Amino acid sequence: MASSYLRPTSLDEALASLQAAHAAAGTSSGGRLPVILAGGTDYYPARVGRALDDDILDITAIPDLRGLAENGDHWRIGATTTWGDIAAAELPAHFDGLKQAARAVGGVQIQNAGTVAGNLCNASPAADGAPMLMAMRARVELRSAAGRRELPLADFITGNRRTTLLPGELVTAILVPKPKKPSASVFLKLGAREYLVISIAMVGLVLEVEDGIVAGAGLAVGACSAAAMRLPWIESELTGRRLNEALANRVKAAHLDALAPIDDIRADAAYRRAAALTLVRRAILALAKQQKRN
């Protein structure tokens, strides 16, 4: 079948196109669902050397899908907001870790084209955006012609290249709840070099602190399982304790038992597990030192 390319300029137009494609795919006419394209920084490299015969729905011309906005009890990150947008935005300290993650996504060219939702929908175990957003308790907003739903990011990404996105459905935004107490965050990434590298292990950490005591914690580890993973047992271990350098030592190897790292060309499983523990401890130390300076 010949491929098609659609670039709608409104969300309603995009959803109508998806609905029509979904209906056609369910008939004997041989219809198929289009590939939803935002930045294309994962789509095109994966198809080098072969014909591009997919039907494409390019959502980059929909203005309502791009940008960051404060909205009541949360911030809204539009689906086609780029990592360059995140890195350059004036945001509170709660977002410091996400800005660090944004600067770790490829080079500047990739950051200026690659989108937040695209990074999550691609669902790579090493997706740089996932651990930090999970630690921030982000939720994913999904729309279809039938309506709207949202769910935690941790429930949206279900495995390596797997999500709960339904046929005819589109990610429209990432919703980040506001912390109840003053907060700080940090993102740490280990690779074979500092930049332009796929992760060996990553950690995103958010701490809400009041009077020197951790009032709430969000922690996620990436590149050490089929999908980035929240570690609530470490979050519980940190909560209610004084934020100081000694707190890092409360995290033990057993706290990371739920991780399922693999052996690959970048590192073996044992190294990944040890690296994740070290990164978690370093993240706590970084926020403890930051509080001490403040």
Q: For residue 215, which phi and psi values (nearest 5 degrees)?
A: -90, -15
Is the predicted pLDDT of residue 29 greater than 80, yes or no?
no
Closest CA to 129 of 155, 90, 99, 169: 99
How many Å apart are CA 231 and CA 279, to the nearest integer?
13
pTM score, whole prediction: 0.94
Average pLDDT over residues 80-84: 98
pLDDT band at residue 31 under the 50/70/90 scheme: low
Closest CA to 142 of 120, 112, 125: 120
* pLDDT, tens only, 223-238: 999 999 999 999 999 9
* pLDDT value at residue 67: 97
* pLDDT, tens only, 100-150: 999 999 899 999 999 999 999 999 999 999 999 999 999 999 999 999 999
* Sign of the CA dihedral with 274 first, then 277, 281, and 284 last: positive
Token pair of 155, please?
């429930």
CA distance readout (Å), 182 to 140, 206, 247: 24, 10, 19
